[in-house]
């Protein structure tokens, strides 16, 4: 646990509400309004694909800040691809939900198999979406990790761990919607959080904050990034 909690930047008028964003793009524009007034040192946006990319692109268009990707993925349950028991980052780092694992009845081999599969998926996605480029310089700048929401927060946290290993000291997690428990876990670890729509009830679904919600494809990610870079 960090000695000092991270800051919280929020939109109180949107707290505990559902259906507050038309789509990921509008959500990103609202986040840009929260982020722009902050005094940030050489800000760098890193979107977590796929769902974080439309949010990150909207922020980048509004602010002019550079945008790249931080590839990370949850380790899904064998019987439910929507739920996960951990996450893997672009550096191969793993974070497991130690509280959940004993309740799942999974063998060690099943757990390790899921980790191997997810590491391979992250490697492939990094190759497809980033051509395996080196990570941008993250030292001595404010790194803003962007996703479309936080439920457990494991995917965001494993990306934070990877970026800290790469030398990032100042980190902000920017998400349109999040559960307060995930937000507080990040803040306890010294990560500031920018979140427009905080919620505290269970069950929690990221999708409930959006009036239009769908799975973002890798083709859409490449298209969004191509249009952003061609406009600069």
Chain-wide mean pLDDT for the chain? 95
- Does domain 8-71+137-230 correspond to CATH entry 1.10.540.10? no
Q: How far is CA 147 from CA 2, 105, 174, 178, in A?
A: 22, 30, 7, 10
CA distance linking residue 175 with residue 124, whole number of Å: 25
* Closest C-alpha among 71, 47, 66 to residue 148: 47
Residue 81 above 80 pLDDT? no
pLDDT of 1 higher than 70: no
Q: State which H helix or E strand residue 143 sits in.
A: strand 142-146
pTM equals 0.95
Query: Could you check whether the bond before residue 50 is cis, i.e. omega within 30 degrees of 0?
Result: yes
Q: Where are the domains of the chain?
A: 8-71+137-230
Q: What is the DSSP string of 47-116?
A: E-TTTHHHHHHHHHHHH---EEE--EEEEEETTEEEEEEEEEETTS-EEE-TTTHHHHT--HHHHHHHHH
Q: What is the pLDDT of residue 2?
A: 63
Average pLDDT of span 16-27 = 98
CB of 176 within 8 A of CB of 209? yes
With beta carbons less than 8 A apart as the criterion, state whether 76 and 83 touch.
Answer: yes
Q: Report pLDDT for 80.
A: 84
Give the pLDDT band of residue 105 (cuts 50, 70, 90).
confident
Residue 204: is its pLDDT beyond 80?
yes
Residue 113 and residue 77 in contact, taking contact as beta carbons nearer than 8 Å: no
């Amino acid at each position: 646990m960090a000695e000092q909690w991270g800051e919280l930047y929020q939109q109180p008028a949107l707290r505990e509400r559902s259906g507050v964003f038309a789509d990921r793009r509008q959500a990103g524009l609202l986040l840009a309004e929260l982020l722009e007034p902050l005094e940030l040192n050489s800000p760098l946006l890193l979107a977590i694909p796929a769902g974080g990319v439309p949010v990150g692109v909207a922020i980048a268009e509004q602010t002019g800040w550079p945008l790249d990707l931080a590839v990370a993925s949850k380790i899904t349950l064998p019987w439910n691809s929507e739920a996960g028991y951990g996450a893997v980052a672009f550096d191969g780092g793993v974070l497991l939900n130690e509280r959940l694992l004993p309740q799942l009845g999974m063998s060690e081999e099943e757990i390790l198999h899921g980790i191997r599969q997810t590491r391979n998926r992250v490697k492939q996605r990094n190759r497809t979406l980033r051509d395996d480029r080196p990570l941008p310089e993250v030292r001595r700048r404010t790194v803003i990790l962007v996703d479309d929401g936080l439920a457990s927060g494991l995917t965001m946290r494993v990306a934070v761990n990877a970026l800290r290993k790469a030398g990032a000291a100042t980190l902000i997690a920017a998400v349109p919607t999040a559960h307060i428990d995930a937000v507080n876990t990040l803040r306890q670890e010294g990560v500031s959080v920018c979140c427009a729509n905080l919620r505290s009830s269970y069950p929690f679904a990221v999708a409930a904050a959006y009036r239009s919600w769908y799975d973002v494809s890798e083709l859409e990610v490449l298209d969004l990034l191509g249009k952003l870079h061609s406009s600069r």
